[in-house]
Amino acid sequence: MTTKYDRIMGAFLGCAIGDAMGAPTETRPIALIKEHVGGGDYVRDYCLPLPDTLSAGQPKGQFTDDFSVSYLSARAFARAGGITRQAATDALIEWSSYDRYYINHSGPTSKRAIALCKGEPVDDAQDYACCRNAWATNGAGMKAWVAGVFNSGNLDKAIDDAILMCQVSHDNPVALSAACAVAAGVAAGMAQNSTVADVVKAGLYGAREGYARSWRFARSSAGASVEQRIRMAVTIGTCYAHDFDRLLQEMTDIVGTGLNANEAIPAAFGFFVAAQGRVMDGVYMGVNCGNDTDTVAAITGALCGAFSGAGEIPPQHLPFLSEVNDMDIRQAVEEVDRVTG
Amino acid sequence: MIAYDKILGCLVGAAAGDAMGAATEIRTRAQIHELFGGDVRTFEKPPKDTFARGSEPGQVTDDFSVAYVTARAIADNGGAVTGEVAKQALLEWSGVEKWFARFAGPTTRAHVAALKGEAVPAADGFVPVNENGQSTNGAAMKSAPIALFSGGDLDKAIADALTVCRLTHSNQIALSGAAAVAAATAAALREGATLFDVVQAGLYGAREGERLGGAVHTNAGASVEKRMKMAIAIGLFAHDMDEAIDQIGAYIGSGLMAAEAVPAVFGLMVAAKGDTLEAICGGVNIGDDTDTVATMIGGILGALNGAGSMPAEYLPYLERQNGIELEQLARDVKALADRG
């Protein structure tokens, strides 16, 4: 039997490995990942980022925003005894004090939110617009797995907590729909005896509910449906599970694997299905799928890890990533395990 | 022999789609219905909370204005589509406050600044391998009128679109979208062309644009061609236009990226069975980047079905509201085409 601790550890490690391994492949299309980063093949290990990537200058295994924001948020929630808006805000501000994350890795939507939280001036030239469609990014979905980990088996609470957690930075229905899909998918995966289909159904439910619930108060945005794109991604994941080349190409070409919330998050669900929840398989898909690879790999890793636990993750990843990034991941997992009863 | 009515139809359709969509842009379809009481089918005054706020009904945005200025410059250059003519037209357009300052998109803005020598390099000299955020629809949006100089030759239309668009959109995804629209328009201009011909030409253009654009720069991003196929399938499967609009909006999207807006164009044209006004209306009401989707549809189907497929009052109305001379441009293009 897989324990709750083991599933929390799986989600943490899945996200961490995906983020760190995807950092050097980020922004490239599949062909150039193989050519420039993987020495002619797919990337299946930590690499040194090239000078033309966002992670240039970082050592092998260093995180970008995806895991670092998630980690600091999870620890803040553990300290607060649960997910609160205040703790989410505190974590975001704390995160922005780390130059190695904030300077190269703050996405457009998070950057603005942090400035607002700090009372700093922001560009308000388009504040008149009823919709801010460019803000519907994947920065909420990348960290929302934490809300799933805190709410094993409780989809509705995971959805509400994901909104609470992510509204600070991504106050629009498309980004929050994606966040709630991830939170609900992880919450379903955390439950004992859950199946791959349970996680997918929970993701679809989260996407739908997240959109509907947040529409009532969030700043509106127009954009393709996260829920429908999850359906497309799961179809592709099912059809091409046994053809790695085709799986990755179809996913990035049709669903998309980019900065927008309605690309990266659906793609992660598609890879979760193709990998049948196996952590390393899912992570490798994300790392090599092109475009916003680190985020897709991080979310896929978290979904898979919550579902499968950390049991099959090779043991060297935890000490390696903890050391390179100067983070006590094991302690964070213990804190979350304790506070979630 | 390219019919005058097709040339004029392309211009009127592209202008009409842009102007009609200016009022609905950035909203969701539900918000469009809420504000206007249903689908928008006429020229409305843009509300105060959208990019075109302050415009009068019937006024175009960046989409058609940059196409018009560029097509005018090409006509004045004897019909030769060259990088220099395109560049001068772009700079001329960028000096028109009501069009450029208010509406120019992120990719166009960045590249116009570079052309003017105003670009600010990163302080640390960092040059990213790709700028995936620049795979936008700003190339495709202006490509239908540029194709009027192709004489119905798909490969010439594609080459011309790339000549004009690579100044601002130098990546294979944006150029794939531009070539899809250009090739579809070129096919539409031919006598006896059908919607099927237009769709096949669009797919050919997307493929060729991606191939030729890949020599310029390869961004990471979704495929225009594959999403077009999906959008066309949705357009065929949908029971009616209403369902097609919702499904294409949900699955394909209709936003700023070329791999959303351009596929949506083809899906909506198929769903509307090639009817000019029905398809434009689909673009106007799909939500998100409505004016861009609608201007591309109007340009392509205006060429396919001719100016006669739209209400006669569109032409004088659009000319008056925008201070532009569509009829004169169409006559000049026709004279150049006849000269061969």
Amino acid B1: pLDDT: 83
Residue range A160-182, pLDDT digits in tens? 999 999 999 999 999 999 999 99
B positions 32-61 inside 8 Å of A (CB): 47-51, 53
Amino acid B107: pLDDT: 87
Q: Does B62 appear as a known binding residue?
A: yes
Surface-to-core class of residue B124, CB atoms within 10 Å of its CB (0-12 exposed, 13-18 middle, 19+ buried): exposed
Residue range B212-236, pLDDT digits in tens? 999 989 999 999 999 999 999 999 9
Residue B13 has pLDDT above 80, yes or no: yes
Give A298's contacts (C-beta < 8 A, 6+ positions apart). A14, A15, A16, A18, A19, A22, A66, A67, A70, A142, A286
Lowest mean pLDDT: which of A316-320, B19-23, B130-134, B184-188? B130-134
Residue from A239, A250, A260 whose CB has the most chain B CBs within 10 Å, to mutate: A260
Which stretches does DSSP call E strand in B57-133?
none
B positions 192-221 inside 8 Å of A (CB): 218-221
**Least CB-CB distance to B132: which of A53, A221, A258?**
A258
Phi, psi of A233 (to 5 degrees): -65, -40
Three-class secondary structure of residue A260 per DSSP = strand
Q: Which residue of A has its CA nearest to B106?
A: A134
Interface A–B counts its CB contacts (< 8 A) at: 119
Q: Which residue of B has its CA nearest to A292?
A: B220
**Least CB-CB distance to A223: which of B218, B220, B253?**
B253
Mean pLDDT estimate for chain A: 96
Amino acid A248: pLDDT: 98
Q: Which residues of B18-45 are buried (b: 16+ CB within 10 A; e: fewer)?
A: bbbbbbbbbbbbebbbebbeebbeebbe
Indicate the DSSP class of residue A310.
Answer: S
Report, as an integer, the average pLDDT of A18-22. Answer: 98
Q: Which residue of B has its CA nearest to A56?
A: B126
Q: List chain A residues with CB under 8 Å of B237.
A: none
A positions 168-227 inside 8 Å of B (CB): 220-225, 227
Kindly determine whether residue A131 and residue B26, on different chains, have CB atoms separated by under 8 Å: yes
> What residue has token string 């950057």?
A111
Amino acid A108: pLDDT: 81
The alpha-carbon gap from B314 to the nearest alpha carbon of chain A, in Å, equals 28
Residue B269 has pLDDT above 80, yes or no: yes
Residue A83 near residue A164, CB atoms below 8 Å: yes
Question: DSSP secondary structure string, A180-194?
Answer: HHHHHHHHHHHSTT-
Residue range B162-196, pLDDT digits in tens? 999 999 999 999 999 999 999 999 999 999 999 99
What fold is seen in the domain A4-339? ADP-ribosylglycohydrolase fold (1.10.4080)
For A2, A313, B291, the CA distances from A296, given in Å and listed in that order, are 25, 18, 31
Neighbours of A152 (CB within 10 A): 22
Assigned token pair, B289: 């980047």
Note the CATH number of domain B4-117+132-339: 1.10.4080.10
Surface-to-core class of residue A97, CB atoms within 10 Å of its CB (0-12 exposed, 13-18 middle, 19+ buried): exposed
Kindly determine whether residue A252 and residue B222, on different chains, have CB atoms separated by under 8 Å: yes
Q: What is the pTM of this model?
A: 0.94
Report, as an integer, the average pLDDT of B327-335. Answer: 98
Dist CA A252 CA A244 (whole Å): 12
Q: Does B289 appear as a known binding residue?
A: yes
Kindly determine whether residue A222 and residue B50, on different chains, have CB atoms separated by under 8 Å: no
Dist CA B46 CA B40 (whole Å): 11
Amino acid B118: pLDDT: 85
Amino acid B151: pLDDT: 95
The alpha-carbon gap from B176 to the nearest alpha carbon of chain A, in Å, equals 13
Q: Which bin fits B168, alpha (ψ -120 to 50), beta or left (φ > 0)?
A: alpha
Kindly determine whether residue B129 and residue A53, on different chains, have CB atoms separated by under 8 Å: yes
Residue type present at position A120: E
Q: Does B153 appear as a known binding residue?
A: no
Give B337's contacts (C-beta < 8 A, 6+ positions apart). B1, B2, B7, B79, B148, B149, B151
B94 touching chain A per CB within 8 A? no
- Domains of chain A, by residue range, sit at 4-339
Residue from A253, A262, A289, A295 whose CB has the most chain B CBs within 10 Å, to mutate: A253
Residue A30 near residue A290, CB atoms below 8 Å: yes
Residue from A58, A130, A211, A234 whose CB has the most chain B CBs within 10 Å, to mutate: A130
Residue range B129-174, pLDDT digits in tens? 999 999 999 999 999 999 999 999 999 999 999 999 999 999 999 9
Residue A37 near residue A28, CB atoms below 8 Å: yes
Dist CA A157 CA A187 (whole Å): 9
Residue type present at position B131: E
Compute the C-alpha angle B93/B127/A29, nearest 5°.
90
Query: Where residue B89 falls among pLDDT bands split at 50, 70, 90?
Result: very high
For B114, B155, B161, B179, the CA distances from B87, given in Å and listed in that order, are 12, 21, 13, 18
> What residue has token string 């410059």?
B73
Q: List chain A residues with CB under 8 Å of B218.
A: 29, 31-32
Residue range A70-126, pLDDT digits in tens? 999 999 999 999 999 999 999 999 999 999 898 888 888 888 999 998 899 988 888
